[in-house]
Structure 1
């Protein structure tokens, strides 16, 4: 892991993404590609997005003749195999830029493609982040220069903002997290017209994931005292909590625009910001057929409750951002906040437990195995309250 040069409590630098936002903003893709010198971009997406004539037509108008290939092999949870195929196609078509269209899996696949292509000869295990026996995050260096990634978001995953990404080894039921500043999206596009074509449930599920981002940034041991990330996380929490229902259930265009911005803001500070919820979720989604958004929806309340004991003031700041009225003890206000989250989840139709997501009752030995993996996930390094296998076991049982 590279040496930390700046003291975390005295230095701040915002992420280097270029954000384009508002209706019709995707037309600016033309000038953006000119600016970064991308002459042979390859577009990647899933099959559903690739069949969306409105979305693909808008992007085709902006990219034009320079597009060398469209790879529709993006899959949920970013299987290593789909990323590896993307690397093969990037080399075959000599692409010099990857444009992702869709949600978190598209963004992660794009980052995985440019990373694996550049770090030739290294395996996913060579590149994955791990947590040491002492609880420190160990990130292998990836020194090779990377081709640019451009992200066009049609969900609220916010994966496009950060320099982290994940690939899934389904053979070993492992979600591998990788981190490289050079794969951070050069530009992110948030066009509400495009997002409005996404199925409502996907917006709901990915929206809960974005809300979870903001919550974790608020109470993380790394970002919890950073006033800049606290400001962006607070705004993200408010935008998402107040507008997600209208965006999903009422097709409200203004609400959709607000949750897109809330999603982008939620991921500022996510490196060092994500902790217990994401760490547990990597295991839940690795072992079971649960999407990343649904997993974080399930674990959201459990992470808040667990960390309240260690950082009650930070948890109460989350309640403030959600507009939970003051009054009574912090414990009473905590329960009111969790009840409000639960009510929002119920209205959106997203799962609040693994059983609601279709997971059968799990034997203790299965839960123990999941708990051991969760306790050693890289995300646990930033949690404000230590999480050992016993604590993870209890959370998983409660979350079922």
Structure 2
């Protein structure tokens, strides 16, 4: 499909009812549950959060009898088998809300669980029938689910990649090792709790890489092929906040740096569903499962390659960001490279441990992916285009 341009940009409200920032989760969560009338909590977290931090024990204590179930069986990229098992568990304990504590994999899993419960889809084949379709102009992902939401999510993010701001869930299919693609009705969390003390317990390397993933989302919003002025304004401020505060997370991060990075995810999330994103956002979904690479690490490399690809094609967008960063005379990709180097993040496909043979295996799946070759400000439509931008990812 060729790049398509809709008649006008559209702003999409994400369905959140409460966003609480710079607050203790143990104080805020009971208050949110009471506000929404929830009494039966099913908690989803990663194994590391459950066993290597005090977060879950503290939440257990504040929830008391409201906690009716918990799972920490959340594999990388949210395998469908984990999704289906957790959905059955939440159904069996009659949970009326899911509380997620974690990063993108945890929140993705919770969104897919919501879809299972709302649709009564508790096996792989039934769930996979509910994958999204594209709008006629190729710029919007549309749900195929018609069931009203029977359960919602409250998110307590522990990373910075902005999954809490979308209804999109992309768990990995255990059988094919490909990403399933769902747009979940009311899939954006009903409430978000940003607790900087919880963020401070995330390993710095993970925090930094997910911050780059959030930065990549903001850049894709600012450099969208169909921009929206409100979304661009939020994205440009988010880029500035990420760039200025991520380096401060390398040591003993201050509360100010942590809260500013959480603000950056908030600003990014408020706009990212309103405009189509380009190559670096979606190619992560190929490089991750095919290369066995964490999404956020892949985002570092692909973000840099995309900035090089767009040099001369996104001058107004890059100029505004460069000015905000007080670096008006430098190429945008050079600014990004310096940030990645400072944060000790991967900058090339070699840094990800990928061979040229392995990357070659990704060409066909990338061309078949419904989004990778769509909506790029500088077109990426053919095998030649795809190889050309990937070639830029072999060197910093």
TM-score, with length taken from structure 1: 0.88
The answer for the alignment partner of 1:193 in structure 2 is 197
1:233 has 2:235 as partner: yes
The answer for the alignment partner of 1:344 in structure 2 is 339
Larger RCO (alpha carbons 8 Å, 6+ apart): 2
Q: How big is the shift at 1:65? A: 1.1
Structure 2 counterparts to residues 252-267 of structure 1, below 5 A: 252-267=254-269
State the alpha-carbon separation in 1 of the partners of residues 174 and 349 from structure 2. 19
State the alpha-carbon separation in 2 of the partners of residues 31 and 7 from structure 1. 43
Provide structure 1 residue ranges, at least 5 long, that are not aligned to the other structure. 1-5, 328-332
Give the SS at the match of 2:98: strand
CA contact (8 A) 2:97 2:152 kept: yes
State the alpha-carbon separation in 2 of the partners of residues 184 and 158 from structure 1. 11
1:306 has 2:309 as partner: yes
Give the SS at the match of 1:344: helix
Structure 2 counterparts to residues 72-91 of structure 1, below 5 A: 72-91=72-91
Q: How big is the shift at 1:325? A: 2.3
CA contact (8 A) 2:284 2:295 kept: yes
* Per-residue CA distance 1:203-254 (angstroms, 9 max, x = gap): 01100001001100001123x2x22111211111111100001022342221
Q: How big is the shift at 1:365? A: 4.7
CA contact (8 A) 1:156 1:260 kept: yes
The answer for the alignment partner of 1:145 in structure 2 is 148
Give the SS at the match of 2:180: strand
1:7–1:141 Cα change, 3 Å: farther
1:128 has 2:131 as partner: yes
The answer for the alignment partner of 1:3 in structure 2 is none
Provide structure 2 residue ranges, at least 5 long, that are not aligned to the other structure. 1-5
* Per-residue CA distance 1:303-335 (angstroms, 9 max, x = gap): 2222344332123223234x14224xxxxx32x
Q: How big is the shift at 1:354? A: 2.2
Structure 2 counterparts to residues 78-227 of structure 1, below 5 A: 78-121=78-121, 123-130=126-133, 135=138, 137=140, 139-146=142-149, 147-222=151-226, 224=227, 226-227=228-229
1:391 has 2:390 as partner: no
State the alpha-carbon separation in 1 of the partners of residues 386 and 243 from structure 2. 27
CA contact (8 A) 2:108 2:169 kept: yes
Q: How big is the shift at 1:181? A: 4.0
TM-score, with length taken from structure 2: 0.89
CA contact (8 A) 2:25 2:156 kept: no
Q: How big is the shift at 1:192? A: 0.5
Give the SS at the match of 1:185: coil
1:360 has 2:355 as partner: yes
CA contact (8 A) 2:100 2:110 kept: yes
How many matched pairs?
382
